[in-house]
Amino acid sequence: MVSYRRVVNSQKCVRAGGKHNDLEDVGKDVYHHTFFEMLGNWSFGDYFKVWSIIKNPDVVEIWNLVFMQYNREVNGSLRPLPQCSVDTGMGLERLVTVLQGKRSNYDTDLFTPLLSAIHQCSKAPAYQGRTGEADVGQVDMAYRVLADHIRTLCVCIADGVYPGMTGAELVLRRILRRAVRFSTEVLQAPEGALASLVPTVAHILIMDLINQNEVKFLSSLKQGRRVIDRTLSNMDKDTAVFPALVAWSLHRNLGFPLDLIDLMLEEKGKMVDKKDMTVLEDEYEKLRFQSEEDDGNRVDQLDLHSLAELQSQGVPHTDDSQKYCYSLGSDGQYVFQPCRASVLALYCDGALVSEVNEGQCCGVILDQTSFYAEQGGQATRFTIVVMLLQDVLFPVKSVRLAGGYVVHQVTAGETLRTGDQVELHLDEANRLGCMVKHTTTHLLNFALRELLGPAVNQRGSHCTASRLRFDFSIKGSLSVSELQQVEELVQHIIRQNAEVYMEEVLLSKAKQITGLRTIDEVYPDPVRVVSVAVPVSDLLNSKTSKQASVELCCGTHLLRTGAIGDFVIVSERQMVKGISRILAVTGDEAKKARETGQAMQEELESLAVQVEAASSLSMPAAQMLSKEVGLLMNAVDITPIPQWQRRELQTRLKAMQKTSNTTIRKLEIKEAALKAKELLVKHSNKPVVVDLIQTDSISVLMKTVLQLSKSTPDSMVMLLSHLQLSGKVLCACQVPKGSASGSAIKWAHSVCARLGGNADGSTDVAKGVGNGAWIYPSPPPDP
């Protein structure tokens, strides 16, 4: 794309978050949208300022033109750019309004069918196009909100962006919930109305997704409305400020967008204290950013002037074809040859320099490199060595691609000058590890589509030397059987030790290859084709009907699949609705995961035998067995093992835990019955029963109280148990219903408070814990 001078396009745009946020304006006027089609054209050093007048009936912006002519320097001065450029954007919806002679975007044929459909599914009068005070009850505003938001939802979901909890997904979630609120509360539309607006030709997945989210938020909306109404009823009628903490709770816990809260309160004549909200937001942001890595200051990002200077000096773009120069030796090991290169340019402190001194951080541009500039999901690590009087190491921190130049970020180990000759040495183990994971990612992509169908599409990937991550579109999580089949197909290709073919071909020809897998990005022309088991030439000439993994990819790959060794999916889960993420390991790590899974399987089988016979165990033994089942459940959840096996173990362990808990409950009931029988003989017909029994379980204590109270319904019963090892005192009590003698919670709290503890419960039953040291106080100190 470096050679392009003029570019035009049409792109889908959503403006509902960040700096350019139109969400709050949508519906209030007749020309703002969260989704619109942007018609763009650019000039890179070609045409510049051409003045022409478009006469609009109303003063409304339809075309935004940006002329790039100067760069503002640090000192505030304007410096002419090496070449002038133009960047423009025109909204299709507003352009159509002008062309069709309308005064509102919503009166064009882009929206009128939707407005008609909304009228048919709601109880509101027909759309009349009113705004402001004339729009009584905000009915027409609700029409516009719904028409706009359903377009945004359909387009985003079709592009693989689903309502979620972070980033763009969170923005879409806010839009959906705003639409649900206007649909149900203003237009009085029934549940499901929002999804019914989706064109029938749209995939059923979109309708299901909107229905699910509408049902989910309707519950939250009703709950939030009750919270707001209850809070307002407890406030002084003369108070206009709504508590910020309640508003923040609605936002964080029930998912209410802040602008929706403001709107709902505005209807009640109330508002949130913005300062208090800012404090709460800042506290939340501080906590959130504590967990995010700081990318640090980058010194390898060339600025426009430096790029232009390199081009004006005739500095050629970096030849990075050396990254593909490796081979398999006779011993089956990969051989990476050192790459000798010349320093063409040095970039330091925002400018091109002729030399850097020891300790300085700088960007180094070479005539050629064997290093891999991070892209396509593949990571990299390396070391650069300068050949002077003696070897001096220059560790490379990162490698980036900028305007056709590969920029190596280094910290100089000694003075480095343009013209110096250097020799590049890879971290071979790391490069090979990345190659293994990258090739495996291609096999995984192939296996998923081969087994689950063409609806599976890659949504992202990342490969490091230790593991791979792969995101893909699918309606729900994979089943145990599907996980096993995917693993087996990948392992089959590994066992074949299939050859990996790589060839650079014209993009137009590459796109004609049957079964080609691509992602939504711009590819270079010519483009590199990577195929497993089938030569690229056969694919181009249609000489084979064999299904093969074939992708457009600039990454480094194995020459044969056998080097992968083994493959195990250690995690698979839905990140958001419709997008799953797989984490996988290979080689020795995969073998280790299998062995660990087998060990856990054997431990489960041993526990299963014990659980089946648990009814004959004593209470302590049954409780210890339940604890062991719980510990194994935790280990299965967090330990890298085959994901299909994890799912099977989790299912069985949940059933075992349920059986174990049932056994313990039966033993508790049995023990409680015996203790209650003894106490009944001891305290027959007493109005108040207080006693100390031996048990380590608050559950047994409570069950004994209930059993005894059942036999003596008119008695107040309190039982305590002193745990010798911990020193704690357990307390449980029951008071007859409707008793005038007092409440159980007050009784238990009074006793436990005297023991330095606390209690909870109701007027009928309660339980608590205290400290035994308060029963037997230590003797006073010697006088």
Residue with structure tokens 């579109």? 473
- The confidence score (pLDDT) of residue 603 equals 93
Work out the burial of residue 388: count CB atoms within 10 Å of its CB; fewer than 13 is exposed, 13-18 middle, 19 or more buried.
middle
d(CA 586, CA 584): 7
How open is the CA angle 568-574-575, to the nearest 5 degrees?
110
Percentage of the chain modeled with pLDDT above 70: 90
Q: Pick 704 or 21 by higher pLDDT.
A: 704
Do 368 and 320 meet the contact criterion of CB atoms below 8 Å apart? yes
3-state secondary structure 669-730: HHHHHHHHHHHHHHCCCCCEEEEECCCCCHHHHHHHHHHHHHHCCCCEEEEEEECCCCCEEE
642 vs 490: CA distance, rounded Å = 14
Region 178-204 average pLDDT = 82
Among 82-91, 729-738, 773-782, the minimum mean pLDDT is found in 773-782
- Judge if the upstream peptide bond of residue 57 is cis by omega within 30 degrees of 0: no
Q: What is the distance in angstroms between the CA of the first residue and the CA of the last residue of the chain?
A: 93
Query: pLDDT higher for 651 or 237?
Result: 651
In this prediction, residue 205 has a pLDDT band, given cuts at 50, 70 and 90, of very low
Query: Residue 705 has what pLDDT?
Result: 95
Q: Please, how many CA atoms are within 13 Å of residue 361, restricted to the half-sphere of its CB?
A: 11
The CATH architecture assigned to 684-774 reads Roll (3.10)
- Per DSSP, the residues of 472-512 read EE-SSPPPHHHHHHHHHHHHHHHHTT-BEEEEEE-HHHHTT
For residues 434 and 381, give the distance between their C-alpha atoms in angstroms, rounded to a whole number.
Answer: 10
Predicted local distance difference test score (pLDDT) of residue 783: 36
Q: In what order do the strands lie in the sheet with 758-761?
A: 688-692, 716-722, 728-734, 765-771, 758-761
- Decide: 228 and 264 in contact? Cβ < 8 Å: yes
What is the 8-class DSSP label of residue 739? -
pLDDT of residue 200: 44
Which pLDDT belongs to residue 774?
A: 61
What is residue 30's three-state secondary structure? coil
∠159-165-166 over CA atoms, to 5°?
75
**Residue-level pLDDT at 769:** 94
Model-level pTM? Answer: 0.64
Q: Which of 151, 155, 148, 210 is nearest to 177 (CA)?
A: 210
Q: Is the CB of residue 474 less than 8 Å from the CB of residue 456?
A: yes
Q: Which of 589, 325, 556 is nearest to 435 (CA)?
A: 556
Looking at per-residue pLDDT, the higher value among 264 and 249 belongs to 264
Answer whether 501's CB lies under 8 Å from 553's CB: no
Residues 337, 343: Cα–Cα separation, whole Å: 19
Which range has the worst mean pLDDT, 213-227, 407-421, 645-659?
Answer: 213-227
Between CA 583 and CA 573 the distance in angstroms is 9
pLDDT tens for each residue of 328-378: 988 889 998 888 999 999 999 888 999 999 888 999 999 999 998 876 556
Lowest mean pLDDT across 257-266, 477-486, 774-783:
774-783
3-state secondary structure of 143: helix
What distance in Å separates the CA atoms of residue 763 and residue 707, rounded to the nearest whole number? 18
Single out the residue of 289, 291, 262 nearest to residue 277, CA to CA: 262
Count of beta carbons in the 10 Å neighbourhood of residue 59: 5
Q: For 406-422, what is the mean pLDDT?
A: 89
Using pLDDT thresholds of 50, 70 and 90, give the confidence band for residue 2. low
- Band (pLDDT 50/70/90 cuts) for residue 782 is very low
Q: What confidence score (pLDDT) does residue 384 get?
A: 54
* Residue pLDDT, tens place only, 510-542: 988 888 877 767 788 899 999 999 999 999 888
Tokens of 539: 């694919």
Q: Judge if 304-426 and 684-774 fold alike in CATH terms.
A: no
How many other C-beta atoms can be found within 10 angstroms of the C-beta atom of residue 387? 12
Locate the domains of the chain by residue range. Answer: 6-234, 235-289, 304-426, 499-559, 590-666, 684-774
Domain 304-426 has CATH 3.30.70.1230: no
Average per-residue pLDDT for the chain: 86
The secondary element (H helix, E strand) that includes residue 405 is strand 405-411
The reported pLDDT for the residue numbered 62 is 86
Question: Which of 68-82, 531-545, 589-603 is most confident?
Answer: 589-603
Q: How many C-beta atoms surround the C-beta of residue 783 within 10 A?
A: 3
Q: In whole angstroms, give the CA distance from residue 139 to residue 124.
A: 7
pLDDT value of residue 201: 32
Q: Using CA atoms, how far apart are residues 689 and 680, in angstroms rounded to an integer?
A: 10
Lowest mean pLDDT among 23-32, 205-214, 248-257, 484-493: 205-214
Environment class of residue 242 by beta-carbon count within 10 Å: exposed (0-12), middle (13-18) or buried (19+)?
buried
**Integer angstrom CA distances of residue 656 from 62, 92, 178, 601, 630:** 65, 61, 44, 13, 10
C-alpha span between 407 and 306 (Å, rounded): 12
Backbone dihedral angles phi then psi of residue 493, each to the nearest 5 degrees? -70, -35
Cα torsion for 454, 455, 461, 467, to the nearest 10°? -70
In one-letter notation, the amino acid at residue 306 is: S
